[in-house]
Structure 1
Amino acid sequence: MEYQRKTGVLLVNLGTPDQATPKAVKRFLSQFLHDKRVVDMTRWLWCPLLHGVILPIRAPKVAKLYQSVWMDEGSPLMVYSTRQADKLKQKLNIPVELGMTYGNPSLLDGMQSLIKQGVEKVIVLPLYPQYSATTTAAVVDGLGKAFKQMTVVPSFTVIGDYHDHPLYIKALADSVRSAWQQQGQSEYLLCSYHGIPKRYADNGDIYPLHCQATTDLLAKELQLDSSKIGMTYQSRFGREEWLQPYTDKTLQALPNKGIKNLTIMAPAFSVDCLETLEEISEECCQIFKDAGGEQFNYVACLNDDDAHIDLMASLVNAQILRG
């Protein structure tokens, strides 16, 4: 079919440092935290703070955390993303490339690679199930910057979200069922989503609505009532209020409510990364057990699981059929 020669897919994720070193982490964080979609403070206030205080202090600390989760092949986010792209390419039999909003390979790298393969139409799939201006919209901004450096700009479509897609919900539910088969069903399932400042949601970001919808659909699929499942937000940064309830505060409170056997998952993350492997699996586990929790089971992200690849293929094929 003609689309097999002309259509390609650009899988997009946030990005990761090239190495688990302070220098590489500083370079990555600098690009990430310079994005106004991520931090919208006035530049003359933010830039001196970022470069004079935050990066010199945080980069060495974050580098150590990356070192604790680094895989033989590299950063977990990059390893799993590469596997996803390879599997999706095999399933669809069309060009599939990776592009990261920050770091390498860049969005420009991914687009140029597709152009070299004769691609004329690109289906851009940001691997953020729930839409947020801080993630999905940042991809669109990045694409605009990339196109300014390209002589030939392909037509493109961006898949904005898939927070309520049946295959996504089923894949999440099946991952929980599989964990329960191995570890036993726990008393409570906690869905921890990456947080954003509350102000962003107050100004119209629909992210928390998508997170709530995903949680509600997952509860329905697993037949769990509100006493058996909940949702929280993690990874807050700075002093302003972020979306609540906070994951760490909730974990501190659950044992006092009689919940000492917990399963936790991160539905907003398409691959395991620093925030899941270190923050949730290690740091949050310690918080829960220090508060009196006994059993803490982390459910891995969907990563390159076949059900996840099937979902991606379904999303892409739907766009191809629309023309």
Structure 2
Amino acid sequence: MSKGVLLVNLGSPDSTNPKDVKKYLGEFLMDPRVIDLPLWARTLLVKGIILNTRPKKSAAAYQKIWWEEGSPLIVISERLQNKVAEKTNIPIGLAMRYGSITIKKGLQELHDQGVNEVMIVPLYPQFAMATTETILVLAEELRAEHFPDMKITDVPAFYNKPEYIEVLSNSIAEHLEGVDYEHILFSYHGVPERHIRKSDISKGNCKMDGKCCFKKGSIQHEFCYRHQCEMTTVQVAKKLGLKNGTYSTSYQSRLGFDPWLQPYTDRTIERMGKEGTKKMAIVTPAFVSDCLETLEEIAMEGEEIFHEVGGKEFTTIPCLNDRDDWAQVLANWINEWSAVKTEMV
């Protein structure tokens, strides 16, 4: 079988025009694994309320971070794709879960190159039903409908892979070199608490009390986003030799009124500033590519909150983006997979 790889990231509007932003938000928020309400309720919420109010605000936010070449997330992902392709000898495709660079197009491009065995690489270190799961479910639906002779495998969550932790830790250390900070905040994209319960394959062992995340050997950890975020922080802190009390974990980008994972990033930044923290650094390890949630929500809004409550220095650490060592890690995983011979049935 001829092998190929499809790197998959979140996606982006085609432009900062409110019409393009509305189209993108509609596709994103109508995904039942993002807003997991019954169709009628999701339609009422998204099409009846959110899409009538949010596109203009989101378009303004995108305008703040948009690059001359286009969407930062798209541009960075394309740069990463090119670097990985230079280090491998099989086709490397790129797709987005939402937007015009579709997974169907990515699979079709690989198929047209003679590829009939694809490894999907969701560009998310931690598993979540709103990220990794929705990518894999859609890819399988597309395979069954359009590419029945294609075999698809995937790269599981890599939050605990030593080589990923090494690269992430090196990136943080490099960007903090010479920076005087009192506290480093590890901010992860938030999800509703019910998403954690829905992904609990132990059927009830998850207590959402912050304790079971740290128990060794729990089977639900394979699909527990909160555990995987907490462990990413723990492993990086250990690698960097951070002292207890000088770092913490929080969750950003909540939507609606249901309880989401806590503590919330914006409130944590505000609380720490009010309590006297003057110098804060913040890293966003749920993302491998800088995007609206890192460039605008954290680097702009987060810094504004910090300064408003008395904070002085706010250092934002970039995502891994297209770092050479990160591209090499991905290439190594791909090369190891491509070297394995497919058994003939």
CA shift in 2, pair 1:134/1:151, >3 Å:
closer
Query: Which residue pairs with 2:281 in the alignment?
Result: 263
Q: Distance in 2 between matches of 1:164 and 1:317?
A: 20
SS in 1 for 2:244: coil
Shift of residue 151 of structure 1?
4.5
Among 273, 277, 287, the alignment partner of 2:291 is 273
Query: Which residue pairs with 1:58 in the alignment?
Result: 54
Does the CA-based 8 Å contact 2:276-2:311 persist in structure 1? no
Q: Is residue 10 from structure 1 mapped to residue 10 from structure 2 by the alignment?
A: no
Query: Which residue pairs with 1:186 in the alignment?
Result: 181
Alignment of 1:141-160 (within 5 A): 141-160=137-156
Among 305, 309, 320, the alignment partner of 2:323 is 305
Q: Is residue 196 from structure 1 mapped to residue 199 from structure 2 by the alignment?
A: no
Among 109, 113, 118, the alignment partner of 1:113 is 109
Q: Distance in 1 between matches of 2:50 and 2:90?
A: 43
Deviations, residues 73-107 of structure 1 (Å, cap 9, x unaligned): 11001000011111111111221111111112100
Q: Distance in 1 between matches of 2:270 and 2:38?
A: 35
Alignment of 1:25-174 (within 5 A): 25-174=21-170
| TM-score, normalised via structure 1 length | 0.95
Q: Distance in 2 between matches of 1:143 and 1:319?
A: 19
Q: Distance in 2 between matches of 1:277 and 1:295?
A: 17
Q: Distance in 1 between matches of 2:88 and 2:176?
A: 32
Deviations, residues 261-297 of structure 1 (Å, cap 9, x unaligned): 1110100101000000000000000111111111000
Among 259, 281, 304, the alignment partner of 1:286 is 304
Q: Distance in 1 between matches of 2:253 and 2:304?
A: 16
Q: Distance in 2 between matches of 1:290 and 1:304?
A: 33
Deviates more, 1:50-59 or 1:254-263: 254-263
Q: Distance in 1 between matches of 2:38 and 2:150?
A: 34
Mind listing any 5+ residue stretches in structure 2 that lack a counterpart?
201-222
Shift of residue 317 of structure 1?
2.6
Does the CA-based 8 Å contact 2:11-2:99 persist in structure 1? yes
Deviations, residues 236-264 of structure 1 (Å, cap 9, x unaligned): 00011100011011101112433211110
Shift of residue 138 of structure 1?
0.2
Does the CA-based 8 Å contact 2:276-2:310 persist in structure 1? no
Counterpart amino acid of residue 38 in structure 1: V
Does the CA-based 8 Å contact 2:140-2:152 persist in structure 1? no
Shift of residue 148 of structure 1?
4.0
Shift of residue 184 of structure 1?
1.6
Does the CA-based 8 Å contact 2:187-2:284 persist in structure 1? yes
Q: Is residue 232 from structure 1 mapped to residue 262 from structure 2 by the alignment?
A: no
Shift of residue 226 of structure 1?
2.1
Q: Distance in 2 between matches of 1:145 and 1:99?
A: 15
Q: Distance in 1 between matches of 2:55 and 2:145?
A: 30
CA shift in 2, pair 1:148/1:24, >3 Å:
farther
Query: Which residue pairs with 2:15 in the alignment?
Result: 19
Deviations, residues 174-204 of structure 1 (Å, cap 9, x unaligned): 11211122x5241111110000001211332
Q: Distance in 1 between matches of 2:44 and 2:280?
A: 42
Mind listing any 5+ residue stretches in structure 1 that lack a counterpart?
none
| TM-score, normalised via structure 2 length | 0.89
Does the CA-based 8 Å contact 2:193-2:261 persist in structure 1? yes
Aligned residue pair count: 318
Percent identity (aligned): 40
Instruction: Give 4+ residue runs of structure 1 displaced > 4 Å after superposition.
Output: none
